[in-house]
Amino acid sequence: MKPGNKDKLYIYQRDLKRCFYCGKKLKFHQITLDHYFPVSKGGTNDIFNLVTCCKRCNKLKGDFLPDNYERVILQLFLVAVEDDKIIGSGLNIDNKKLKEELLKVDRIESITDKFIFQSDSMRFYIKNNYVIKVVYIGGFK
């Protein structure tokens, strides 16, 4: 699923209207969206994997995978949760409680065709900005 204009506008504003890499200020029509974790390696169109990018940097980056991807994507994920952009779909947990749990996420478990994030007690499967599955993995603190 390609990101819609609403997602694009959100990402543009989240990134303070600047290229994520070179910091150049961009008009909305000038931007491209770069997949931080490249599509060729399994990256998705989730908003936390997309950053505002000028055409030049996007071309230069290509499908290079930055070393700091886990920290950056985790940070963007938590911002998206905070902004109520990541919500549940078909889960037996209400969104308020889900948000509390999502904010405890501190690592990426895996990235294959979807992102799997993890906290000390739960694992979250994300697809198209929705939490589609939650697995309890540990003791409750």
Binding residues with Zn ion: total (CB under 5 A): 5
Helix (H) or strand (E) holding 122: strand 122-127
Task: Say if residues 102 and 88 touch (Cβ distance below 8 Å).
Answer: no
Shortest Å distance, C-beta 140 to Zn ion: 44
Considering only residues 54 to 93 of the shown chain, the ones binding Zn ion according to CB under 5 A are 54, 57
Shortest Å distance, C-beta 136 to Zn ion: 42
Residues 6 or more apart whose Cβ sits within 8 Å of residue 50? 3, 7, 11, 33, 34, 35, 36
Residues 6 or more apart whose Cβ sits within 8 Å of residue 10? 47, 83, 85
Tell me if 26 contacts Zn ion by CB under 5 A.
Answer: no
Shortest Å distance, C-beta 75 to Zn ion: 19
CB-wise, 51 or 81, nearer to Zn ion? 51
Shortest Å distance, C-beta 74 to Zn ion: 22
Q: How many CB atoms lie within 10 A of CB 65?
A: 14
Tell me if 22 contacts Zn ion by CB under 5 A.
Answer: yes
Q: Catalog residues that contact Zn ion under the rule CB under 5 A.
A: 19, 21-22, 54, 57
